[in-house]
Amino acid sequence: MSLLEWWKNSSKQYPILSALTRDVLAAQASIVASESAFSTTGRIVEDYRSSLSPATLCMFTCLQDWFVAESRNQQYNFVDEFKDNSSEEEEEYSRKILCNYDE
């Protein structure tokens, strides 16, 4: 029995954990090389920006990542194997937890 099958079969016994697991397992692996993904320092810290404080550099790094993520229109999808066993209420609950929003 695979991990996905086990969670699918156990979703009624562990509804909250299975919703969380569904969302974690739905995260797609990146094919971007780690060197490219984490080497933003050279693009932020240049000669004319070298006197920026660490907090400001952190802010620039976060903003840059948010803008790039927005341009990719990142959205998470649910694993189809779990979708059949989850109610709309469970999905909405897991979205609120993961996205940290209230409607």
Structure tokens at 27: 């995260």
| Chain segment 39-78, per-residue pLDDT in tens | 555 555 565 556 667 777 777 777 777 777 766 665 555 4
- Report the candidate in 30, 37, 29, 14 with the shortest Cα–Cα distance to residue 86: 14
Q: What angle do CA 93, 64, 53 make, to 5 degrees?
A: 115
- What is the pTM assigned to this prediction? 0.29
Least confident of 22-26, 37-41, 60-64, 86-90: 37-41
Residue 15: the pLDDT is 86
